[in-house]
Structure 1
């Protein structure tokens, strides 16, 4: 097993836990003892469709706010919980239609309260929201004719400013934000104000692009740097950043996750597989430039969307799988287009498993016993069987679960870099500044947002657990649903204290007890 040990990592604060010391059935197989007081464990893969956050199929929802204040349909908690529990769906697209505000600068405070309530409901259900704002849907059947009903640039910017506090306060349950606002459905094409000639919206002037750039930039500023926006075509990002298509203009590994505009603009394709260019999604000449651009980009930013029409054989499974692999798809609409999705037959199960990331342990190498105040090693190999990696920040923690107390080690590794189809190495040298005893080793991949972290302090000095937003590894028997931890199938023995000149030091701090 590859060994890339980091510097000694001090144990974090102590935390009282209960019921974690038992080994899960079928979780791991211990191999022969390795040299130097070490052992090797191999792990059994799972074929389960896992409800992991920020990935997979989504349900599409929309709500309205018309001139008289009618049309808003709040999220229903029971419905969201049913989707999660019965379908393993962990995210929903929410299109917020702002019909009333297309003609006024001021958003009603009551409307902002409705948004807050929807985010709170999603949080209670254990889901995240893919957000989009729009002003208009078509009034008539195709061909669509102006006026379309969207809002001018300055009004859009004022609305984004008023929405920003709500978005920032609920960032924890926002997966990503589709750029929206411009044109029918918020998809940026049929628009009254962002094309010089609304009856010919495919022709855009430099002023039109400047207006669009202002909207995208305002939306980026409205969100914290940990969140992305997704644009409808690659050209929208290229024009916003003044970068060419092809790999020359695409986001690089060095730029990724830096907080720059380039690192925070992803993509959504709402006519996936519908034609050779996905109805104008791929606009470069030759088309291969945009294809190469997207394949490079989406290693580091999200892409999702929906299918919108049958175009056999391109919309059939073999082609769909190849493109979701190449473009690192993280999310896809389960509600549309059913003719396309149904054509995939039983292969839909593979899509359910592989959209986004899918991490599984393959091997672990561990120190078996250590004296208090001395260091021990943990080396893990995981494989990503998914088509993408996580696109939002994600913490990595090693948990030492003792009979009476447990301790947390923060491991400096970034799951956003655990690329699709590759192995990831997690290595830590940890200072065992804990009392003598036996400690079960766990891996925790929690959401770093405080309200969603798998372990939370509660009033009165207690603690609660939120496993809905932690990552479950694709291995049989490792998942601990009560806490959101993954049991590594290894017990570390911390022996009696002995005098030594090579201790690694460290201090413990009490944490809340388990509720």
Structure 2
């Protein structure tokens, strides 16, 4: 007969082995991909609103809420659901004076309305949004109607506190301010590269333009990006007014670090309209060089840079067919992917957009605009100890055209099945680097030592980073899976349970 102490030791050893085996056992769960057109934040087809300072009609909450539901676009063949609203503020009353307190208060109210409605804004300010013709080289004739640099810089200074306090619902901002529509082209004060003007942008003009861009970058928190109309403006801002079109694009080491270089993205307001997209990829020259086509170089630059910055815009001309049609005859999907598009105007140009309906790729474009995160598989332990370290793995695929461009936390939520108590564990990852393709997320997370023993349901939560809206389901990312979304909380159910001893 073995001594009593030896028996006790053996029993303890056996018990420890059984416990270890139980704790180490894993559960693997496979998930089904959804084909639904999901209304996720900061991506997709946007709706447009124009607001004139001279006749200020504020945003309407019910209208914005309605945009989140599927609505047919007027005279188009398609319907969209939108979480993004592009708002163009036309400062037509303030071309020679400061912005009024009334306008600033109205802008602040608009932001509160968007927040209450559960949408985000793409914001652009300009002074004129209508061209006039005449006997001039381009058919769009001066005076164009924008404002001088001193006025622009003072307006940005006035807007700064309002942009800062409402950054939570500003998805991004477009540079605007200069030229008709704020597109930085037909301008009375910042250089005129049209046939009517100098035919190029002079050194002094580039300096003035980059001063405006610098002021806007300083006016917004470092968490937000500014979109510029042409990629050359970013090159000339970063590398100087004589920078050539071969200037280096942003790389992953530089990305998302809060520097000016990392915060400048692009809006192409004539996407798929022609070989140069109406001059989007022109080299506009400077005081010592003429304007010329630089399409290959600037397309290459934007393709590389846009992996790490926000890109969107609108179509403007249906003449570039079949190139702007669905593949394989056209290259619409290919261009969306190559330039990492996160959003596009739903209402212009509907002739181009309608072609994607008749061509059979509209549903794909709707789904893939921006990010689309599909959870393929998850591995979790079935049993573990409070205070221990939990190993888990998530296989996610981003099948969209781009990664999320604004930072947000990634959280593993444990919900006690008996009490409903929630425990939140922060996952160490940068969702902005969940680029198109596979995302292999493997983590070791420490459980609190005071966690109550019991059964816990698991959720993945991808909320907004701003405390003001982090608990709002409208601002949380929904995975593109069947039977995972919990609409009342904005959590993604992992359909897994873990027992904590």
Q: State the TM-score bracket (shorter-chain normalisation).
A: 0.7 to 0.9
2:191 equivalent among 192, 195, 205: 195
Give the C-alpha shift of residue 248 in structure 1: 5.0
The one of 440, 453, 465 equivalent to 1:448 is: 465
Name the count of aligned residue pairs: 447
Q: Which residue of 1 aligns with 2:110?
A: 118
Counterpart for residue 58 of structure 1 = 46
- SS of residue in 2 equivalent to 1:344: helix
Tell me the CA shift for residue 275 of structure 1: 0.8
Shift in alpha-carbon separation, 1:316–1:490, aligned structure 2, 3 A: same
Cα gap change, 1:279 to 1:201, in 2 (>3 Å):
farther
Mapped to 2, the partners of 1:369 and 1:77 lie a distance apart of: 47
1:503 aligns with none
**Aligned-partner Cα distance in 2 for 1:201–1:480:** 58
Partner of 1:107: 99
1:480 and 2:477 are equivalent in the alignment: no
1:42 offset after TM fit, Å? 0.8
TM-superposed CA distance for 1:431, in Å, is: 2.1
Give the Å deviation of 1:414: 0.7
Please list, as runs of the form range in 1=range in 2, the aligned pairs for 1:376-415 lying within 5 A after superposition: 376-402=390-416, 403-404=418-419, 405-415=421-431
The whole-number CA distance in structure 2 between the counterparts of 1:267 and 1:38 is 45
1-side partners of 2:249 and 2:395: how far apart? 30
> C-alpha offsets along residues 206-248 of structure 1, whole Å, 9 cap, x if unaligned?
0000000100000000000000000000111111112756675
User: What does residue 12 of structure 2 align with?
Assistant: none
TM-score normalised over the length of structure 1: 0.84
Matched residues in 1 for 2:191 and 2:247: separation?
Answer: 28
SS at match of 1:292: helix
Q: Distance in 1 between matches of 2:415 and 2:116?
A: 27
* Structure with more relative contact order (C-alpha pairs < 8 Å, separation 6 or more): 1
The structure with the largest alpha-carbon Rg is 2
Deviation at residue 88 of structure 1 after TM alignment: 2.6
Call closer, same or farther: CA 1:248–1:204 in 2, change over 3 Å: closer
Paired position in structure 1 for 2:346:
334
Shift in Å, 1:85: 2.4
For the 8 Å contact 2:464–2:475, the answer to whether it is kept is: yes
Distance 2:203 2:465 in 1: 40
Deviation at 1:172, TM superposition (A): 0.3
Mean Cα deviation higher: 425-434 or 240-249: 240-249
Gaps of 5+ in 2: 1-20, 71-79, 284-292
| Partner secondary structure for residue 99 of structure 1 | coil
What is the Cα deviation at residue 107 of structure 1? Answer: 1.1
Aligned residue among 112, 124, 128 for 1:136: 128
2:176 corresponds in structure 1 to: 180
How far off is 1:374 after superposition?
2.1
Which residue of structure 2 aligns with residue 171 of structure 1? 167
Extract structure 1 runs of 4+ deviating beyond 4 A: 243-248
Question: Contact (CA 8 Å) 2:428, 2:443: kept in 1 or not?
Answer: no
Structure 1 gaps, min length 5: 1-32, 455-465, 496-515
